[in-house]
Chains A and B, each alone.
Chain A
Amino acid sequence: MSSIIIDVNQLTKKFKEFSAVDHVSFQVNSGEIFAFLGPNGAGKTTTIKMLTTLLLPTSGTISLNWFNPVTQQDQARASFGIVFQDPSLDDELTAYENMEFHGVLYHVPQSLRKQRIEELLNIVDLWERKDQLIKTFSGGMKRRLEIARGLVHHPKIFFLDEPTIGLDPQTRNQMWDYVAKLNQKENITVFFTTHYMEEAERIAQRLAIIDHGKIIAHGSVEDLKNLTQTSTLEAAFLKLTGKAIREEEANPSEQMRLHRQMWRGRK
């Protein structure tokens, strides 16, 4: 009954000899909340980047809302909204200006834009602060604003790349409430990654686990628990991916991220 809105087939991304994503295939049904899990460096972010047109696949195919992100870039882009792992708001602009900017980029007509911005800012409880600069916002407020912003153009699919990292439990809960509400009300397909297994267990209807660039499990939370004979998703996850800690080499953006956190602390 449900149709497939994200269809990934044998997707591969090689960086020189290293396969970050290795013949990955999975499907996401329209209207479902789908979690994409995996240890550090497993290939999650690389996969999201390919789905969202930021990175070209080495081979394999993607269908996103029936568009091909490689050949039908603009249609594919108009189909989704995204919250990146790193905040991508403009600190020197106000909340309203950030929303407005997004609306213009996605060609939302002016009157509709105004109406949607007001509606969304109210949903995430930021309407009162619409004229404040982002640099005065807390981490949780920024996240909420990013969620609202990603929805200004009414996307069919919403990508959230570790959206709750660095947030306190209250904010995390609240954030997932918003997302679940949106999923139900607007029938938006949600595709998210997280390191918090209890979040995935609670929110996701189906999920896939990726490790070393390959999908190692795929199904509902119950399917995974049954498969591994465990009682929680976390236990299932550890059984599937092993307990060894993954060391990630610091790449330039990792270094910049550290640098940035340092500077933020000083202000």
Chain B
Amino acid sequence: MSTIYILWLRQIKRYLRSRSRIIGSLGQPLLFLVALGFGLGPIFQKAGGGNYIDFLAPGVIAQGILFTAIFAGIELIWDRQFGFLKETLVAPVSRFEIMLGRTLGGATIATFQGIIIFGLTLLVGFRPYNLWLLPMGLVIMFIIALFFTGVGTAIASFLDDMQGFQLIMNFLVLPLFFLSGALFPLKGAPDFLSLSAKLNPLTYGVDALRDVLSNITQFGIILDISVLGVLTLLILVLGSYLFSKIQI
């Protein structure tokens, strides 16, 4: 238990101390909110889609969580060779505890990040429709964060250098975001797009978040959370298996 806690604490301390990283990582979501939110907003409204900021804000929050979480997981590659991780791997503690502490830490900072972006969305005029549902929103944010930290950890377990990082960014993280229904409604989208979105775990996270924050949903929150919950369990099992196999 103390192992999990100290690994979690370490992630939190690192996050809080890297202010420039926090501020830097807010640029992208802000850009999405301003450029897309204000740029496409009027057209979206005219087409009968309603208030675009209401639609977009949960998507951008999910994007911030996705990026932070995947990155927290993938940092493992670096850490394994040069960081604390090597220290922890020779300590008399189980790999499972190490992996769990790290993942919970990564998920917590990704959730923080989501909360800060939520603050940004308020600045550009987003208003959640029911304040009582905000705690539920927080839970959903944490599940999204947990899932994608797990994905990052699993990837990092079989990559042995940072060269593959760019590849993952361009062929996994960006498509996950753009093909998730975070930016556009899936209704009326071409079949292939809507199909690829339905195969994308982030879609369910965005949809659940949109349900509790903006009262807009495609699949309903029950289905969303079930899909995401099952996938999170699976990825954590897979991640701890891969992590237990790491040799340096």
Contacts and interface: CB of A to CB of B under 8 A. Distances in A.
A255 B92 CA distance: 30
Interface string A200-217: 000000000000000000
A49 B92 contact: no
A127 interface: no
Interface stretch (A18-26, A89-97, A218-226): A89-97
B228 to A, nearest CB: 31
Contacts of B81: 86, 253, 256-257
A104 B161 contact: no
A181 interface: no
B247 interface: yes
A49 B246 CA distance: 13
B162 interface: yes
Contacts of B6: 100-101, 104-105
B92 A260 contact: no
Contacts of B191: none
B167 interface: no
A253 B84 contact: no
A88 B82 contact: yes
Interface in B39-90: 78, 81-90
Nearest to A90: B84
B8 to A, nearest CB: 12
B84 A107 contact: no
B13 A92 contact: yes
B90 A93 contact: no
Interface residues of A, number: 38
A88 B83 contact: yes
Interface in B131-149: none
A256 B82 contact: yes
Interface in B83-105: 83-93
Contact of B82 (A77, A87, A97, A104): A87
B123 interface: no
Contact of B160 (A54, A90, A102, A253): A253
A106 interface: yes
Contacts of B92: 73-75, 77-78, 105-107
B17 interface: yes
From A80, A84, A88, name the one whose CB has the most chain B CB atoms within 10 angstroms: A88
A242 interface: no
A227 interface: no
Interface of A: 49, 52-56, 73-75, 77-78, 80, 82, 84, 86-90, 92-93, 97, 100-102, 104-107, 133, 149, 252-253, 255-257, 259-260
Interface of B: 2-3, 6, 10, 13-14, 17-18, 78, 81-93, 160-163, 247-248
> Across chains A and B, which 4 residue pairs bring their CB atoms closest together, nearest first?
A252-B161, A105-B91, A74-B92, A77-B92
Given A88-B83, A101-B84, A257-B82, 11 more contacts: A49-B247, A54-B248, A77-B90, A77-B92, A93-B13, A102-B87, A105-B6, A105-B93, A253-B160, A256-B81, A257-B81
